[in-house]
Amino acid sequence: MTKPLVLVTADVKPIDGFNWHAVNATYLHAVLKGSDAIPMILPSLGPELDLDAALDQVDGVVATGSRSNVNPVLYGQEPTEANGPYDPDRDATTLPLLKRAVERGIPVFAICRGMQELNVAMGGTLLTEVQELSGRKDHRAPVSEQQDERFRIAHPVDVAEGGTLEDVIGSEPFDVNSLHRQAVGDLGSGLVMEARAEDGTIEAMSVKDSAGYVLATQWHPEYWVSTDGPSQKLFSAFGDAVRAYREKRLGL
């Protein structure tokens, strides 16, 4: 049987006078090796794309992280220069993509910005510049030119009882990395908290009573998928979900 296909969301990057649609290769390798699936980059073309036609061809969606933030206007707040950069073409693509994938029961794994996109797509809000909020820790990446240092394991998370994450990882707290300025505020419709950091920041969520597998993490399991046990379990579980969806889709 051929391997499942997974859509991977892309940033729009201005390079040499052109708009390039780009994905960090760590996500592609994590899908390929960690989930045993074929990653397919989805360009952020907004309304030009027929998202249902794209989703008809695939077995899962990975919503990636990014340096850009979801534009606050999309959840009723004012954008600021300090909170940028923004990527309007990505917002116009990934938010409707994720909502439609959830509705159709297509497996979704949303990471960092992807988790924030999922929350906004489902009607939720975000907290901007978490490090400036009273009682919250600084969740930004360490300042370093070494990626291993930027993505180093930073703090523990507590797993919610009875949820999808507990099924995948287990009930004990475990350590994750941290590279974000925004975080989930009010949960969107149907979303449930799956893990929290010590300061109360929501670190993982899922969709209650969803038609398919949906899990989102604020941290970056794709970076350590070859060596970190929890990261491996997350991509393996997603791979199991996309294979099951493919068998159902094709009537195998």
Q: Catalytic site residues?
A: 112, 220, 222
The torsion defined by the Cα of 63, 242, 99 and 12, in degrees rounded to 10, comes to 30
Residues 6+ apart with CB under 8 A from 3: 36, 37, 38
- Residue 11 C-alpha from the chain's centroid: 13
123 alpha carbon, distance to own chain's centre: 16
Sequence length of the chain is 252
Tokens 């510049």 correspond to: 129
Contacts with 56 (C-beta within 8 Å, 6 or more apart), sequence order: none
Residue 93's φ and ψ, nearest 5 degrees, are -100, -50
